[in-house]
Amino acid sequence: MKLKKLLEGYAWEREPGKALPTLKDVVKKHNTINEVDYSTMKLKSNIDQKWDSTDTMMDDMRQWIGASVQASGAEMGKDLADALKLMMNFAEGESKTAGR
């Protein structure tokens, strides 16, 4: 394999006509990418399906929350906690309404 081929596709994310990035550049770029590969999750459901148990729902939610916080940071964790508190209040209200 030729060195040029290595530098273009394997060793670095090189842009033609520009100098090779430094290790610091590569680390900085890597640390700013906030993508999550949801295909690696073992979710049993999606928006169109029903969860078969609260255990399944809780497992899916744990994975989704963890991935969201990992991708977006601690502030996302706080936002999700606030949103889930609102949903908890909603669910409690629905339970009371259904029990009447």
Spatial separation of the C-alpha atoms in residues 71 and 34, rounded to whole Å: 5
Which candidate, 61, 80, 68, places its Cα nearest to that of 34? 68
State which amino acid sits at residue 29: K
Number of domains in the chain: 2
Has residue 82 got a pLDDT over 70? yes
Split at pLDDT 50, 70, 90, the class of 76 is very high
Residue 35 and residue 71 in contact, taking contact as beta carbons nearer than 8 Å = yes
Domain span at residue 27 reads 3-32
Question: Mind listing the pLDDT tens digit for each residue in 45-72?
Answer: 665 456 778 888 888 889 989 999 999 9
13 shares its domain with 44: no
- Determine contact, residues 7/21, Cβ cutoff 8 Å: no
* Residue 51 and residue 90 in one domain: yes
* 16 shares its domain with 45: no
42 with 61, same domain?
yes
Alpha-carbon distance of 64 to 56, in angstroms, equals 12
